[in-house]
Amino acid sequence: MKTILTVILMCITVSGFTQDYQSFISDAEKASELKEYKKAIEYYEKAFATGKNTPLDLMRASQITAKALDKDKAFYYLNKAIDNGWNSFEFLPKIKSFEPLYTDKRWTEVLDKCKAIQEKDLKMVKHPNLIPLLDSMVVVDQNVRVLGTKLIREKGESNPETQVVLKQMSQVDSSNRKVLKQIYEKYGFLGFNKVGKKGSNNFWLLLQHCDRDVNFQEEVLKMMKQEVEVKNADSKNYAYLIDRVKRNTNQMQIYGTQAQLNKDGTSYEPQPVIEPENLNNRRLEMGLESIESYIQALNEIKLKKKNN
């Protein structure tokens, strides 16, 4: 009887522990939205004191501490985010929140650290010849998507000019899909060990846009799951892809990565998701930020662009 009670108490403690983390992160995001940066930092510190963290939450904490001009904490969280797996290095110099850090010598040290990690990754990959190919495919993919999004926002989806670009987007997706399938048949899933972290991310990004071939997406998804389990692929990317496949097959998503505007058009919200009460716990397991933080980021990026 005593053993049973102990197990029950342990389960309650673990559940509460996880909930505390997500509650603190949610409070931190609410405070940062109100530009109460010092209060946001306090909540982040309470969240991390639980022993939990994700690379994205650490990165967000770094941005908030930079806005609050607390450079020591900003660099501490930035380095910790990188050490814990944040690897979108090409975006780092573009994050405006870090502008107060530019004149600090530690900023150059961080950039050098990122460069060293990338160079180390490249030395260890099995198929470096695929990296420039994936890079060039992503450039074409993103250029046509950026233009299409811009025209939809400015002229509407039914505009003839927009329709021309959307047709080009479809052609790009079709062309890229053929190349991806050839690559997959020859090399299998492109994990970190084959093309590095950036190359693997590019492979995943292009796969996200193979929506007209869900069977192919599902096939690659099975292999990707195995690679995630041995830490040879990004768990966050896996979460995005499985949600996309779920929505493409009219199923509820798992991690809430696929979003839509609410009825009022005032905020984004997750498309239908299983067990929403446990959503943040599932997201935490995959290294994703809380759903509140994610929605806030979407609103900041997409709604601001729409309103400009």
Per-domain boundaries in the chain = 2-123, 126-307
Token pair of 222, please?
């099975």
**Model's pTM, two decimal places?**
0.75
* pLDDT of the residue at 304: 59
Kindly indicate the confidence band of residue 8, based on its pLDDT and cuts at 50, 70 and 90.
Answer: very low
Task: Report pLDDT digits (tens) over 53-80.
Answer: 888 889 999 999 999 999 999 999 999 9
Token pair of 149, please?
């999004």
Query: Could you tell me which of 99, 63, 59 has the C-alpha nearest to residue 83?
Result: 59
Residue 123 makes CB contacts below 8 A (sequence gap 6+) with none
The CATH topology of domain 2-123 is 1.25.40
Kindly indicate the confidence band of residue 22, based on its pLDDT and cuts at 50, 70 and 90.
Answer: confident
For residue 302, pLDDT over 90 is answered with no
Backbone phi and psi for residue 268, each to the nearest 5 degrees, phi listed first: -80, 155
Neighbours of 74 (CB within 10 A): 26
Round the average pLDDT of the chain to a whole number and report it: 88
Helix/strand/coil for 268: strand
Token pair of 105, please?
């010598």
Task: Report pLDDT digits (tens) over 154-207.
Answer: 999 999 999 999 999 999 999 999 999 999 999 999 999 999 988 999 999 999
Query: Could you tell me which of 278, 230, 233 has the C-alpha nearest to residue 254?
Result: 278
Question: How confident is the model over 77-95, as a mean pLDDT?
Answer: 87
* pLDDT of the residue at 12: 38
